[in-house]
Structure 1
C-alpha cells in the first residue's frame, strides 16, 4: 500500500536526522567535525521540511479534517528553521551554542516523533491511494532539489541573547 510507502520514506529521513543529532551532540567546541555535521543536518532538515511541505502538507492542508494538524507541523518547521539559523549565528565554541543545539534537538525529536506517532496515522486514514502516490513522487523529486538549495543561514533570533 502506498500509504506505508510514503510514511516509511519520511521515517527513513527522520532516522537519519536522529543519527546526525546524536553525532553532533558527541562533538566538542568549534571542531571541523561539529561544523560539518551541523551543516549536513541543516541541509538534510531544511531539504526534508521543504519537500515534506510540498508533498505531504500541501495535500493534507486540502483535507478539512487534517488542516489543523497540517498547520501545526508546518509552523513547527518554521520554528525549527529559525532555530537552525540562530544556532548557525552563534559561536560554536561557546556553551551558548551547545545549549541552543540541545534545545533544537529536543524540539526536533519531539516534532518527528509527533509526526510518526500521531500525524501520519491520522493522515493515512484520510488520504487516498492517489494522494499517497502523488506525495511519494513529489517528495522524491523535491527532496534533492530542496537539499541542494538549502543553506546554513546565520541569522540571530530577535529574542536571542547571544
Structure 2
C-alpha cells in the first residue's frame, strides 16, 4: 500500500512509540533478553528513519525558506538521538544507567516527533503537491526496504 511521505514517517513514529512502551513495561530480570531484543528493534527503526529523513526528506526541504530552519534543528536532534543510541548500544539493559539513558532517549525522540508532526509536516505539506508527497513516500519506502535487506545480511531478490 503506497502512502505519502508524511503518512509513512508518522507510521514510523507510532512504531517507535510502541517499542518504547514495551521496553518500559518490563521490569523483571527475566525480561533482560527481551528488552535487549526490543532495543535492537528500536535501534533499527530509529536509525532507518533518521537515514531516510536525512537522505531523502530533508534535502528536498532544506533549501526552501519556510522549512530550512526546521530541517537544521531536526538534523541537530538526530545527532543527539544518535549519541544516546550509541551509549545504549554500548551498555547492557541491566547496567546501571541503561533505563535512565533510555528515558532520556525517549524524551528526545518525543520532542523531535512533536516538532516534526506539529511544525515541519504541516509546513512541508504546503510546499509540495500530493503527487510529490506520494513519490517521496515511494522513495522512502524503497530505501528503507533496501537498507533493511543490507542490514539483515542478505540481498533482496531482484
Q: Confirm or deny a common fold (TM above 0.5).
A: yes
Q: Is the 8 A contact 1:55 1:139 kept in 2?
A: yes
Summarize the Cα distance change of 1:43–1:137 in structure 2 as closer, same or farther, 3 Å threshold.
Answer: same
C-alpha deviation, 1:118, in angstroms:
1.2
Please say which of residues 38-47 and 7-16 is displaced more in the overlay: 7-16
Look up the match of 1:85.
Answer: 86
Distance apart, 1:10 and its partner CA: 1.1
Offset from partner CA, 1:88-140 (integer Å, 9 cap, x none) = 11232123111100010111111112111111001111223453233112101
User: Relative to 1, partners in 2 of residues 1:134 and 1:62: Cα closer, same or farther, differing over 3 Å?
Assistant: farther
Answer whether contact 2:23 2:39 (CA < 8 A) is retained. Answer: yes
1:9-55 alpha-carbon deviations (Å, 9 max, x no partner): 21111101100011111223571100000000100110111112222
Runs ≥4 residues deviating over 6 A:
none
Where in structure 2 are there 5+ consecutive unaligned residues?
A: 153-158
SS class of match (2:67): helix
- 2:66–2:123 Cα contact (<8 Å) kept: no
Aligned-pair RMSD on alpha carbons?
2.1
Distance in 2 between residues matched to 1:15 and 1:66, nearest whole Å = 23
Matches within 5 A, 1:102-117: 102-117=103-118
Aligned partner of 1:56 in structure 2 is 57
The answer on whether the counterparts of 2:4 and 2:138 sit within 8 Å (CA) in structure 1 is: no
